[in-house]
Amino acid sequence: MIRFIIADLRRLWLGCAVVVLLVALATALGVAVTLQERSLRLGSARAADKFDLVIGASGSETQLILSSIFLQPAPLPLVDGELLSKLAADPRVAWAAPVGFGDSFAGYPIVGTTTTLVTSTTPGFGEGRLFAAEGEAVLGASVTLPVGAVVKPMHGTAETGGPTHTDIAYKVVGKLKPTGTPWDRAILVPIQAVWHVHGLGDEPEHEDGGTEPAATVASATHDEDHHHGGIDPDAPIVEDFGADTPGLPAILVKPKSIADAYRLRQAYRGNGTVAVFPGEVLTGLYATLGDAKMVLSAVAAGSQALVAAALVLVTVIHVGQRRRQIGALRAFGAPRVAVFLIVWLELLLLVALGIGLGFVCGLLAAQFGAHLFTAKSGVILPVGFTRDDVRLALFLLGFAAVLSAVPALLAYRQSPAQALRS
Amino acid sequence: MMPLKVQSLAVSFPGLATPVLSIANLEIAAGSRVALTGGSGSGKSTLLNIIAGLERVGSGHVVWGGQDIARLSEGRRDRWRAENVGLVMQDFHLFAGLSALDNVLLPARLSRVSTPDLVKRAHELIETVGLKRTGQPVETMSRGEMQRVAIARALLRKPGVIIADEPTASLDVENGEAVGDLLLSVAAGAGSTLVVATHDQRMIERLDRRIVLRGGCIVGDDVVGKVPV
């Protein structure tokens, strides 16, 4: 029987190839949507995993998380720098680290932060060491610069453009191991350097910026005139933040316990600040993502239904055209069950091939999409099949088995004498 | 060898006032060679379908060697036909993409009765019908060769009856004669009852008995004695 089926499929190879491709495309669409959405959830959750609590000025919680954890370039309102020293002294806090951003180099965001944050949130160095002086920088694993390179910060991003701080340069002293987060694409420098570049904070060598009101590069009200600071590359890093700390776009906080996390979140909501768990913001985003996925899944399901309907139509017509062949098989002694199985298996084989190919194509498409996303955002999206996908594959195969039974039943019920007469 | 006895047979199709076939009594002796003739629409093919168990019998009896196939369910009729009837048709009904050998063995394989002995017999039959290459794909064969493959297929399970529907109609004179010879000789060799519906005068002349149908009724039945193969 298998030999007959293979001979039959080989004879009709072009039509079979079209059927397989149609099924593969419809399946791949659904699979790619599912895999992509799931990997986005997982990848973004993993990226936020190291950050327990983020505190910023009152405003959009989503933007606070997107900017501070996903390093999306966007202006944020600032919180008073004094808050940092207050948090550092809070017994419920294990550590609190400021982040300052707004500059970039070669498309990579430059993030000002502290040694505590780097050592606490990264898996260590692949090469070199942590910055120890104001003019030193550390690279995320995905930054394609060598240790020893010179980084000249440019205000804003490559897309938005902006003046380059030509007189300022960081020396790269280390490269971190991959974290799978957007921080892999970041160039990390001491926060004090970011302040000094922008003429903020305690800047002994600065000519005229020290007296300006506090504002950072991330401020919505930021003004190009503020770019006139400089750094002392050899100055030691001071991470003892006092009352004169400039305004900050975000402070990343590691509470000592889960209970402390909730208490801190409660304590710093209101009075001009907002404290959020990245997870709660992501949950809100996932709901939106889920809605988008539902729409896309509905489109995919619609296309699958159309392909299924087209397949039934094509095969019913095909069985009609093969009446004589089927009738002859019966006439020469093939049992009805054998005729049913031939038609059923032929179609099921094609659809199963299409489903298999569709899963592979869907996986490749999702991986390609994830690759593009990672290249742009640094967030590693874990694309892969799970038990749910096995269930989906089994469901689709089951559906195909039922669908294939329609033309097979027609063939089964066909009278051989009538078929031969036609 | 199987004798046939048809009694009170009436076949009607919906929408037709009169039956397309009406035979009160017909007997065919085991091992005889019968030509079934008549014009288009005379009921030849319907009678062949009925005695081959391809068509359901509305009323009457069709008894082959003691088995009334009119009483069998469709599945059992299929099984009975596979075991007892060798069919040869005008259009060969061979399956492209398969070799001569695979075509000969296909019905047996689909019925899951193929054995090494049967495969050996298929090889022998292909040789008997005058073909040399058992592995040759049928679509590369001439029409005469295709009909030979079809005859080999019909004989595979040593059927008690061979039923042929216009076996020479789509062949040229030379091939038609050769196929006619072959049919007669293999039927004689196997001792099978042979029923041939045909317009081929040369073929008709070589059969022992000629039944003429018109309007679904038998209007002539001549036994011409044993014609030498």
Q: pLDDT by residue (tens digit) across A303-350?
A: 888 888 888 888 888 777 778 888 888 888 888 888 899 889 988 999
Distance CA B141, CA B144 (A): 8
Q: Is residue B228 part of a domain?
A: no
Quote the domain boundaries for residue B41.
Answer: 4-223
Scanning every residue of chain B, which has its alpha carbon at the shortest distance from the alpha carbon of A339?
A: B110
pLDDT at A163: 66
* A330 touches A420 (CB < 8 A): no
Average pLDDT in the A364-393 region? Answer: 88
pLDDT tens for A45-78 read 888 888 889 999 888 888 888 888 888 878 888 8
Residue to mutate among A332, A337, A342, with most B CBs inside 10 A, is A332
Label the pairing between strands A53-57 and A250-255. antiparallel
pLDDT at A166: 64
Mean pLDDT of chain A: 83
Kindly determine whether residue B95 and residue A3, on different chains, have CB atoms separated by under 8 Å.
no
pLDDT at A261: 92
B87 chain-A contacts, CB cut-off 8 A: 331-332
A417 chain-B contacts, CB cut-off 8 A: 49, 54-55
Pick the closest to residue B140 from B176, B180, B99 (CA basis): B99
**SS3 state at A12:** coil
**SS3 state at B14:** coil
- When CB atoms are compared, the residue of B49, B82, B108 closest to A417 is B49
pLDDT tens for A123-156 read 889 888 999 988 999 999 989 999 999 988 887 6
Rounded alpha-carbon distances, angstroms, from residue A235 to A133, A190, A192, A268, A408? 6, 11, 10, 33, 82
- When CB atoms are compared, the residue of B54, B97, B107 closest to A10 is B97
pLDDT tens for B160-198 read 999 999 888 888 888 888 888 888 888 888 888 999 999
Kindly determine whether residue B89 and residue A420, on different chains, have CB atoms separated by under 8 Å.
yes
Rounded alpha-carbon distances, angstroms, from residue A186 to A105, A369, B51? 9, 21, 86
Total beta-carbon pairs less than 8 A apart between chain A and chain B? 83
**SS3 state at A70:** coil
pLDDT at A43: 87
Model confidence at A159: pLDDT above 80: no
Kindly determine whether residue A333 and residue B97, on different chains, have CB atoms separated by under 8 Å.
no
Domain ranges of chain A: 2-45+285-421, 53-276
Q: Is residue B229 part of a domain?
A: no
Phi/psi of residue A236, each to 5°? -70, 155
Where does the pLDDT of residue A365 fall: very low under 50, low under 70, confident under 90, or very high at 90 and above? Answer: very high
Q: How many CB atoms lie within 10 A of CB A421?
A: 15
Average pLDDT in the B116-137 region? Answer: 90
Q: What does DSSP assign to residue A49?
A: T
Distance CA A46, CA A49 (A): 5
Kindly determine whether residue B89 and residue A333, on different chains, have CB atoms separated by under 8 Å.
no
Model confidence at A194: pLDDT above 80: yes
Helix axes A387-413, A336-377, angle to 10 degrees: 150
- Tokens representing A247? 């305004």
Buried b / exposed e along A160-194 (16+ C-beta atoms within 10 A): eebeebeebbbebbbbbebbbbbbbbbbbbbbbbb
pLDDT at A202: 57
What is the rounded end-to-end Cα distance, in angstroms, of chain A?
Answer: 25
Average pLDDT in the B65-81 region? Answer: 88
Distance CA A16, CA A346 (A): 9
pLDDT at A165: 63
Give the range among A164-173, A383-392, B42-51 with minimum mean pLDDT. A164-173
Model confidence at A95: pLDDT above 80: yes
pLDDT tens for A206-247 read 333 333 333 344 443 344 444 456 777 788 887 777 777 888
Domain CATH number, residue B94: 3.40.50.300
Domain total in chain B: 1
3-state secondary structure A127-190: EECCCCECCEEEECCCCCCCCCCEECCEECCCCCCCCECCCCCEEEEEEECCCCCHHHHCEEEE
Where does the pLDDT of residue A367 fall: very low under 50, low under 70, confident under 90, or very high at 90 and above? Answer: very high
- When CB atoms are compared, the residue of B49, B89, B97 closest to A8 is B97
* A374 touches A368 (CB < 8 A): no
Kindly determine whether residue B97 and residue A338, on different chains, have CB atoms separated by under 8 Å.
no
- When CB atoms are compared, the residue of A11, A332, A415 closest to B107 is A332
Average pLDDT in the A153-161 region? Answer: 69
* B191 touches B159 (CB < 8 A): no
Where does the pLDDT of residue B100 fall: very low under 50, low under 70, confident under 90, or very high at 90 and above? Answer: very high
ipTM: 0.84
Where is mean pLDDT largest: A68-72, A159-163, B85-89?
B85-89
